[in-house]
Structure formats: C-alpha cells, structure tokens
Amino acid sequence: MKLSPSSLASLKNLDGSRKLFFLVGLTAVLAGLFLFSTSQLILSYREASQIEAQKAEMHATIEKFQSHVDFLDQQKYRPIPKDKLGNVQTDLLYQAQAHSLNLLNMKALQPDSKNPNVYAYALTLAGSYENIVDYLKNFHSRDALLNIIQLQLQPKDGLIDATITYRVYTKG
C-alpha cells in the first residue's frame, strides 16, 4: 500500500478498530524491515571482520617470511649439502657452455684445514672478453653460495683465458 497525503487523509476517516489494525500492520512491516536490515548489517559486519582477520593473518605470515629472508640475507654462509657439490660444478659448466666458453681446465684445490666445509676449485675457460664478463655476472649455481676468491685474465690468440678460483660452502 502506497502512502500519500490523500491516503493519510483517508486514514483519519477510518473507524478506531480499523485504524488500530492498520497501524499495527504498518508497525509490524516496518519492524520486520528493520530486523531484516539489521540482520543483514550484522552478517556483513561479521564477514568484514573475518576478512580483516584473514588479512591480518596473511600480513603476519608475510612479515614472518620477510624476517626469515632478511635473516638469511644477513648470513655469511648459505651452505649446500656435500652431495650437491657435483651439481654445482655441472651448473657452472653448463653456464660456461651457454656463454660460448671453452673449458680448458677444472680442478679441485687443496681443502681448507681450518674449515672442512669449504671446498675450493679452479676453473679455466677461454672465450671472448664479452662472454667471460657475462659469465662472471651470472656466476651462480641455484642457491649455493659461491665466493670468487681470485680471477686471472690473460689474452691468448685473440681470446681471453680466464682462471676463476672460487669456494663452495657446504653443510657440516
């Protein structure tokens, strides 16, 4: 029923019991709409609270992860298992091949008696200066920590012979 000024005027002409019935009905409808709106508002608030709690949990997880990353980045060593040493050498050789470098020599050096978890190697490659520099810029093997301790460059027959001495750190 649509309320307009003319319908309000006709409400004045209703007798007492019909007027009371009409007002009770109107009040019931309005109360029902109010309760429905309130329940929807409460449900929306609960959903928003749950989403906020999930966001807070995700944010805490990200912060915890970032603190672990920061901790690892500050560490001097990120050792690999000893059985992965061969994989490191293989990765470095594949990278040399990808940079069009020729392998001249590769040898393991004398182990460090002070630190048995450090392995040193010497790798001699031949190629153009540009390819050697690109190789050195990308000198890595997955997540193993490699440390170049010496680099020797010597021109030979229009190419460069590069001897790279490096360390690989392993878990104890």
* Each residue's pLDDT tens digit, 46-67: 999 998 998 888 888 888 877 8
The answer to whether residues 21 and 91 belong to one domain is no
Which of the pair, 29 or 59, is modelled with greater confidence? 29
Residue 11 confidence (pLDDT) above 90: no
User: What is the token pair recorded at 148?
Assistant: 């170049």
The answer to whether residues 100 and 117 belong to one domain is yes
CA angle 113/115/121 to nearest 5° reads 80
Residue 35: give the domain boundaries.
Answer: 5-74
Q: What's the pLDDT score for residue 81?
A: 87
Which of the pair, 44 or 16, is modelled with greater confidence? 44
Residue 105 β-bridge partners? 124
Interior/surface letters 9-29, b for 16+ CB within 10 angstroms, e for the rest: eeeeeeeeeeeeeeeeeeeee
Going across the sheet that includes 159-169, the strands are 102-108, 118-127, 159-169, 146-156
From the number of C-beta atoms within 10 Å of its C-beta (0-12, 13-18, 19+), residue 38 rates as exposed
CA angle 35/39/42 to nearest 5° reads 140
The answer to whether residues 94 and 151 belong to one domain is yes
Write the pLDDT tens digit of every residue in 109-166: 998 788 888 999 999 999 999 999 999 998 888 778 888 899 999 999 889 999 999 9
The answer to whether residues 40 and 98 belong to one domain is no
Average pLDDT, the chain: 85
Q: What's the pLDDT score for residue 133?
A: 93
Q: What's the pLDDT score for residue 74?
A: 67
Domain boundary among 45, 74, 103: 74
Residue 168 confidence (pLDDT) above 80: yes
What are phi and psi for residue 61, nearest 5 degrees? -65, -45
The answer to whether residues 41 and 96 belong to one domain is no
Residue 170 β-bridge partners? 80
- Measure Cα distances from 99 to 71, 89, 113, 124, 147 in Å: 33, 15, 34, 14, 20
Closest by Cα among 10, 164, 1 to 92: 164
The answer to whether residues 21 and 47 belong to one domain is yes
Domain count, the chain: 2
Interior/surface letters 54-68, b for 16+ CB within 10 angstroms, e for the rest: eeeeeeeeeeeeeee
We report the CATH number of the domain holding residue 138 as 3.30.70.60
Residue 33's pLDDT band, with cuts at 50, 70 and 90, is very high
